[in-house]
């Protein structure tokens, strides 16, 4: 039973819904709306997809995309103020420092 519980929690989409996938989607939409504002040209490729295309990808891909963009924004002091700004659990889930 223990193995089944762990498999259901950690090897399925359930883990993402319990760890803020909806908040991640909202934050990604906000990042896309802000665009490349004050980001280096190297990040141009991250903004080629529209929100629907990006959010239709696997949750791990979306999390990595968001992590890269958020770290870049925080380095420039241009980050969005949302759940990922101050919530250590959400930051840890995305692997933000």
The model's pLDDT over 37-86, given as tens digits with 9 standing for 90+, comes to 889 999 999 999 999 999 999 999 999 999 999 999 999 887 778 888 88
Residue appearing with tokens 């239709």: 56
Do 46 and 69 form a contact (C-beta atoms < 8 A)?
yes
How far CA 61 is from CA of 5, 50, 55, 67, in Å, comes to 25, 15, 9, 10
pLDDT band at 26 (very low <50, low <70, confident <90, very high): very high
Residue 14 scores a pLDDT above 60: no
Residue 12 scores a pLDDT above 70: no
pLDDT band at 10 (very low <50, low <70, confident <90, very high): low
Helix, strand or coil for residue 37?
A: coil
Residue 93 scores a pLDDT above 70: yes
Report pLDDT for 4.
64
Phi/psi region, residue 32 (left: phi>0; alpha: psi -120 to 50; beta: rest), is alpha
Report pLDDT for 5.
62
Dihedral Cα 75, 81, 86, 90, nearest 10 deg = -90
Residue 7 scores a pLDDT above 90: no
Do 91 and 84 form a contact (C-beta atoms < 8 A)?
yes
Residue appearing with tokens 């659990």: 89
Q: What pTM was computed for the model?
A: 0.78
Q: Pull the structure tokens for residue 4.
A: 């089944």
């Amino acid at each position: 039973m223990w193995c089944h519980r762990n498999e259901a929690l950690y090897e399925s989409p359930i883990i993402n819904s319990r760890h803020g996938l909806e908040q991640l989607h909202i934050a990604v939409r906000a990042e896309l709306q802000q665009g490349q504002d004050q980001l280096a040209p190297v990040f141009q490729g991250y903004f080629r997809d529209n929100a629907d295309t990006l959010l239709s990808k696997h949750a791990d891909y979306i999390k990595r995309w968001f992590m890269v963009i958020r770290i870049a924004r925080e380095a420039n002091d241009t980050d969005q103020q949302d759940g990922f700004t101050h919530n250590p659990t959400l930051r840890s889930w995305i692997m933000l420092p």
